[in-house]
Amino acid sequence: MEETEMLEIKNLHAQLEEDPDVKILNGVNLTVEAGKVHAIMGPNGSGKSTLAYVLSGREGYEVTEGSVSLLGEDILEMEPEERAAAGMFLAFQYPVEIPGVGNMTFLRTAVNAQRKARGQEEMSSTEFLKAVRDKAKTLKIEPEMLKRPVNTGFSGGEKKRNEILQMAMLEPKMCILDETDSGLDVDAMKLVADGVNALRDANRGFLVITHYQRLLNHIVPDVVHIMSQGRIVKTGGAELALEVEENGYADILAEAK
């Protein structure tokens, strides 16, 4: 069976808009096929979050070279909301608190905005409520948390589970998870991993950014990339993550030079 390219990143270079001397991405090449889970590992500061932000359209970065396509469509000129409607989703490393906006209102507005952008009908409120409740339950998210303002006063683990709930509700095609495991205890990590695994299917791609190997015991990747100084310096199978776990990055990075 022929593989569909979900996300194709070619020779991507990006620097800070306000300081062009800070060149963060220096030629990233990466292709995620539909149905596959790719992991990116790498030391702190190697550019993993920046890659995630550039892919989702955050302001503040200037792409100087290269291209990114989602299901064959060039997305670099799209607004963040257009990318979302096209199927892009980023689970933030640091989910943003929004006091004054209820989590439910937020979820419903997001779901319906994407539907509208795709020319679909809005979800009825009963349909929506049922979907949220079911999904929240599997993520062990208390109904009370849905009533609170978005991420406001949530613990680290609650914030990360809330990201996965959004992902489950929005049903994106391309899911990027930026250090969704950081700050989670083993039980919380397992919940998050189960949430991700439940969404794995042939028509969806994943890019799981992590600093540690342990998440990858639960979300077993098809491909592992090592990132350093804004480039992918090594690519391998799931065993590459174990190698990092045992020996650290030093050997791999030395070898790459």
Partner 1 sequence: MALRREVLLKARQEAASARLDALTLPAGGGWITRAREDALTRLRAMGLPTRRDEYWKFTDPAALVAPATDSAELLGEDPDGTVFDTIDRLKIVFVDGEFDADASDDLAAEGLEITRLAEAARHDLHWARDAYGLLEAEGQAPVERPLAALNTAFATDGVLIRATGKVSRPVALHYLRKDGNADAMVHHCIKLEPGSEMTLLESGAAAARFSQVLEVDVGDGARFNHVRTQGRDHERVSNSNLFARVGEGGVLKSFTLSANGALTRNEAFITLNGRDGVAHIAGAALGDGAFHHDDTVFITHAAPACESRQVYKKVLRGGATGVFQGKILVKQPAQLTDGYQISQALLLGGDDSQFLAKPELEIYADDVKCSHGSTTGEIDPEQLFYLRSRGMPEEEASALLVLAFVAEAIEEIENPDLAEDVRTHLAGWLDRHRG
CA distance 92 to 183: 13
In whole angstroms, what is the distance from residue 240 CA to residue 153 CA?
37
Q: Give the residue, chosen from 22, 98, 198, 202, that forms a contact with ligand ADP under the rule CB under 6 A.
A: 22
Tell which positions 169-198 bind ligand ADP, by CB under 6 A: none
d(CA 123, CA 126): 8
Nearest residue to Mg ion by CB is 49
Q: How far is the CB of 119 from partner 1 (least distance, A)?
A: 14
CB 233 within 8 A of CB 210: no
Report how many residues bind ligand ADP under the rule CB under 6 A.
12
* 113 lines the binding site for partner 1 (CB under 8 A): yes
State the DSSP code for 96. Answer: P
Q: Verify binding: residue 170, partner 1, rule CB under 8 A.
A: yes
Q: Binding of ligand ADP at residue 253 (CB under 6 A)? A: no
Hey, which residues between 60 and 79 contact ligand ADP (CB under 6 A)? 60
| 56 makes contact with partner 1 (CB under 8 A) | yes
Kindly state the smallest distance separating residue 221's Cβ from ligand ADP, in Å. 17
The CA distance from 230 to 228, in Å, is 5
Nearer to partner 1, 106 or 212 (CB): 106
Residue 48 binds to ligand ADP (criterion: CB under 6 A):
yes
Distance CA 163, CA 17 (A): 28
Q: Which of the choices partner 1, ligand ADP, Mg ion, none does residue 180 contact, using the CB cut-off of 5 to 8 A by kind?
A: none
Stretch near Mg ion under the rule CB under 5 A, chosen from 49-57, 159-167, 200-208, 235-243: 49-57
Q: What is the DSSP letter of 47?
A: S
CA angle 7, 225, 5 (to 5 degrees): 20
Among 110, 123, 199, 256, binds partner 1 (CB under 8 A): 110
Residue with smaller CB distance to Mg ion, 22 or 117: 22
Name the one range near ligand ADP by CB under 6 A: 29-37, 42-50, 146-154, 190-198.
42-50
Of the residues 149, 156, 157, 183, which one makes contact with partner 1 according to CB under 8 A:
149
Assess 49 for contact with Mg ion (CB under 5 A): yes
User: From the CB of 12, what's the least distance to partner 1, in Å?
Assistant: 18
Alpha helices by DSSP H, 17-151: 48-56, 80-86, 103-117, 125-138, 143-147
Q: Which strands, in side-by-side order, build the sheet including 73-74?
A: 23-33, 5-16, 61-70, 73-74
End-to-end CA distance of the chain: 36
Crossing angle, helix 125-138 and helix 156-170, to 10 degrees?
130
Which positions touch ligand ADP (CB under 6 A)? 16, 22, 24, 42, 44-50, 60
